[in-house]
């Protein structure tokens, strides 16, 4: 058997080991993610500017005025077809083209300050100034499962595999733990954050205020950041110690005319404050993945299967039954964005339904946005509705 020796100074190339591509992952928000989260949310706000402009441009009334004024300009300056000039057939387009420039500029000029203000108030809200702190109560303090389990969900087509702290559903790895109410999660693709969702159970339906004013150099509400974050810390400590502390922020935000009592809101309503996905990845239904993951967490669908009663503690069974009763009374709410592509279709597919003014009495009211006064509305979802709808969603994804 002969061996081949390498010449002196020549290093034999080592075989390259192909690294296994990272699986898409849904995990809780970390402090290092804050800048990317703010960028995703801000990008979503400013996308509304382009959609609002497009809606104005394509409005039948504006199109009629556009054509009418353009035709008048053609007539006034004799931009009419002439048999002596071969290219005169395009002359009638001169008038509408001249009218288009000021229309495009005026609409942009009127809309941009509105969306700049909206961007500053959104980014300046306490939950985005320090999202890892505001939403840390649930997702950063989740207790992972202590035993690896395999279970069948209510949907036969939904194949899941578990380890100590993560769940893999349809190729997407997710961190799981005890059923939580609020929290924040991010979607990781190739080590990059491409989507996020944030659920607030501290002040659902309430405005958080903002530390930024409408324009550069103008500050928002004084002391609002300390009031919100400090009261959140107090609530977190009181809940962890088993005491039911009340938030000063709720009293700060709720006027005497608002008829919703804190006892009715606390622990029963969770608000989706933000759901944003980077534009190139939206066609992959990452928003649906994030929404499904967070709703499963809120309504307790990521719990270990409790269908088998053999060898189980009766006291623990009662606790699980009581917990499910509480979850069945919970509601997840969202205030829709009038500039979301597809409108409310995304939320309706998940089972959300519009809420009446009586149901939303005392909640934050949105101001009209844009030249035509667009505004969103409150929609809600309960556990029974999500349990029925999630079967359809996962059945479609598994086929």
**Cβ proximity of 206 and 218 under 8 Å:** no
Q: Which two tokens stand for residue 2?
A: 């002969």
Residue 74 tokens read as: 């053609």
Question: 8 Cβ partners below 8 Å, 6+ apart?
Answer: none
Q: What angle do CA 185, 229, 210 make, to 5 degrees?
A: 90
pLDDT along the chain (399 residues), means of 10: 57 60 86 95 95 95 94 90 82 92 95 94 92 71 31 36 44 52 90 95 90 72 68 54 46 41 62 95 92 92 47 50 61 94 90 93 88 94 92 70
pLDDT digits (tens, 9 = 90+) for 329-341: 789 999 999 998 8
C-alpha pair distances (Å), 284 with each of 24, 51, 166, 315, 397: 12, 21, 21, 44, 11
Q: Are 111 and 54 in contact (CB under 8 A)?
A: no
Residue 323 CA to residue 325 CA, distance in Å, equals 5
- 374 touches 339 (CB < 8 A): yes
SS3 call for 299: helix
Greatest Cα-to-Cα distance within the chain, rounded to the nearest angstrom: 98
**From CA 175, how far away is CA 293, in angstroms rounded?**
9
Residue reference for tokens 């509400």: 221
Write the CA distances from 126 to 138, 240, 357, integer angstroms: 17, 22, 27
What pLDDT, on a 0 to 100 scale, did the predictor assign at position 295?
Answer: 94
Q: Which fold has domain 25-60+106-236+261-304+322-398?
A: Aminopeptidase (3.40.630)
Q: Characterise 178 by phi-psi region: left (phi > 0), alpha (psi -120 to 50), beta (else).
A: beta
User: Which pLDDT does position 355 carry in this prediction?
Assistant: 94
What CA–CA distance (Å, rounded) separates 90 from 357?
Answer: 54
Alpha-carbon span 26 to 216, nearest angstrom:
35
Q: pLDDT digit string (tens) for 70-111?
A: 999 999 988 888 888 887 888 889 999 999 999 999 999 999
- Segments making up each domain of the chain, as ranges: 25-60+106-236+261-304+322-398
Measured between its terminal Cα atoms, the distance across the chain in Å is 56
């Amino acid at each position: 058997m002969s061996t081949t020796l390498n010449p002196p100074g020549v290093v034999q190339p080592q075989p390259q080991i192909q690294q296994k591509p990272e699986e898409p992952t849904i995990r809780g928000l970390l402090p290092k993610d804050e800048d990317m989260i703010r960028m995703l949310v801000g990008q979503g706000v400013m996308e509304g500017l382009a959609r609002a402009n497009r809606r104005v441009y394509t409005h039948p009334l504006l199109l009629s005025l556009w054509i009418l004024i353009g035709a008048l300009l053609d007539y006034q300056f004799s931009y009419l077809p002439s048999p002596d000039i071969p290219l005169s057939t395009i002359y009638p387009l001169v008038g509408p083209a001249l009218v288009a420039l000021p229309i495009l500029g005026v609409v942009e000029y009127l809309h941009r300050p509105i969306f700049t203000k909206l961007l500053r108030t959104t980014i300046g809200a306490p939950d985005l100034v320090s999202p890892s702190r505001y939403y840390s109560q649930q997702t950063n303090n989740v207790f992972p499962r202590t035993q690896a389990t395999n279970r069948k969900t209510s949907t036969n087509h939904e194949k899941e595999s578990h380890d100590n702290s993560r769940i893999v559903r349809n190729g997407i790895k997710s961190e799981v733990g005890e059923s939580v109410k609020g929290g924040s999660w991010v979607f990781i693709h190739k080590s990059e954050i491409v989507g996020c969702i944030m659920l607030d159970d501290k002040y659902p339906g309430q405005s958080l205020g903002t530390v930024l004013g409408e324009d550069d150099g103008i500050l928002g509400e004084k002391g609002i950041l300390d009031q919100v974050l400090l009261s959140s810390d107090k609530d977190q400590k009181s809940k962890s110690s088993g005491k039911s502390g009340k938030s000063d922020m709720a009293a700060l935000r709720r006027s005497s005319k608002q008829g919703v009592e804190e006892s009715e809101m606390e622990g029963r309503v969770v608000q989706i404050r933000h759901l944003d996905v980077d534009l190139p990845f939206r066609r992959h239904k990452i928003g649906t993945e994030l929404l499904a993951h967070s709703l499963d967490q809120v309504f307790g669908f990521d719990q270990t299967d409790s269908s088998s009663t053999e060898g189980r503690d009766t006291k623990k069974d009662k606790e699980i039954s009581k917990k499910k009763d509480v979850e069945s009374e919970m509601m997840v709410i969202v205030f829709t964005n009038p500039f979301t592509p597809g409108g409310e279709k995304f939320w309706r597919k998940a089972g959300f339904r519009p809420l009446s003014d009586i149901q939303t009495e005392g909640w934050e009211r949105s101001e009209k946005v844009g030249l035509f006064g667009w505004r969103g509305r409150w929609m809600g979802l309960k556990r029974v509705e999500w349990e029925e709808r999630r079967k359809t969603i996962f059945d479609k994804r598994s086929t």
